[in-house]
Structure 1
Amino acid sequence: MFIDRICNNLKKQNNYEYCQKTLFGKDILFVKPLTYMNLSGEIFNHLNKEDFSDIIVIYDDVNLPLGKIRIRKSGSSGGHNGIKSLINYLGEDFKRIRVGIGPIPKDINLVDFVLGEFQENELKILDKVLNLSVDALYTIFKDGIDKAMSLYNSQEVKL
């Protein structure tokens, strides 16, 4: 959902979609894996790039409430299988924007929750928080991750 807000015409290759853009004088490659989440890291076998030190990963996180984002310079997987897979390829030292989709209701298991549909009121919040996430990403490119963290980590989108 996130990458679709930035890229109008995604191209498909192997097990991912991508687009290239120039933002703030920087050539940026946006990549969306099409594999199972726990295989997300395998995408790095297909990218023609030696250095991934400038990567920024944007992902959903059930441990963060819907309406919040959290920007980090590095960290663990927090139990997220897709991030575990990325860490296997990259180590823990990569920038990330976590987009909250939690909490998980007590009567629903994790898989059903993550693969389920959002309710109408949740979609409205998600729309706003995805826009906020795009703004945060642009701030990282323009002003650096420290500035983005100070501006966006305390914000919360509500209806």
Structure 2
Amino acid sequence: MKLIAALGNPTLKYENTRHNVGFMALDFYLKQKNLTLYDNKNFEAKILKNDDTIFLEPQTFMNLSGKSFQKVLSFYKIQKILVIHDDLDLKLGAIKFKFGGSSGGHNGLKSIDGYIGSEYFRVRIGIGRPQNTELNFLESNVAESSIINFVLEKFTKPELLVLDSSFELISKALDSFISNATLLEIQNLYTKKK
């Protein structure tokens, strides 16, 4: 069984924010398939089991995402995990795929790693960086505050248009993942630089 999970923050307050681009991408895919996630209090998530794939959106808030993963993994026999998340180090709309590695400072990934380790597939969706984060280490508190504000900002309409084409590609990549394509095949077909 496979687990496809997206990261984001629950509630309308965070809808269409940069940190929620993972939720947005998975919602786009599920809408195309006429599938709906359901609230599950036990898993602290919105979840759907469809054939041999579980779709998951933790409702624990980003920094505690791992709690939900651990609950799902203790209930289902999952062989492959794919996590969809935002990435500050990629330009808006860029898409990269990888397996394992560091969290890159992403608190949602840190939480997952803390509960289940880092051996899972990732879909990294670029959200870019705020302009003023090229600061020296003496101004690191200012840069960190700027990044927190940036990831919690809502996307503009032009940015949402850029993301739509990225979500189309990600949807195809998810179908390939479900069909057991290799990481290399997915990377070759669906990586998007910008």
TM-score range, shorter chain: 0.7 to 0.9
More strand by share: 1
Structure 2 contact 70–116 (Cα < 8 Å) conserved? no
TM-score (norm. length: structure 1): 0.86
> Is the partner of 2:46 in helix, strand or coil?
strand
Identity of aligned residues (%): 34
From 140, 155, 167, the counterpart of 1:130: 167
Measure the CA separation in 2 of the matches of 1:139 and 1:53. 16
From 103, 121, 124, the counterpart of 1:77: 103
- Structure 1 residue 52: Cα displacement: 4.2
Structure 2 vs 1, CA of residues 32 and 56 (structure 1 numbering), >3 Å: closer, same or farther? same
**AA aligned opposite 2:38:** K
Structure 2 vs 1, CA of residues 53 and 84 (structure 1 numbering), >3 Å: closer, same or farther? farther
**AA aligned opposite 2:153:** G
Q: Structure 2: give runs of 5+ residues left out of the alignment.
A: 1-23, 134-144
Q: Structure 1: give runs of 5+ residues left out of the alignment.
A: none
From 123, 133, 142, the counterpart of 1:97: 123
- Structure 1 residue 51: Cα displacement: 4.6
Structure 1 contact 57–96 (Cα < 8 Å) conserved? yes
TM-score (norm. length: structure 2): 0.72
Structure 1 contact 52–90 (Cα < 8 Å) conserved? no
Write out per-residue CA displacement over residues 83-107 of structure 1, whole angstroms, 9 at most, x where no aligned residue.
Answer: 0001111212111111111122217
Measure the CA separation in 1 of the matches of 2:90 and 2:25. 17
> Is the partner of 2:130 in helix, strand or coil?
coil
What is the count of residue pairs matched by the alignment? 152
Partner of 1:12: 39
Measure the CA separation in 2 of the matches of 1:53 and 1:94. 10
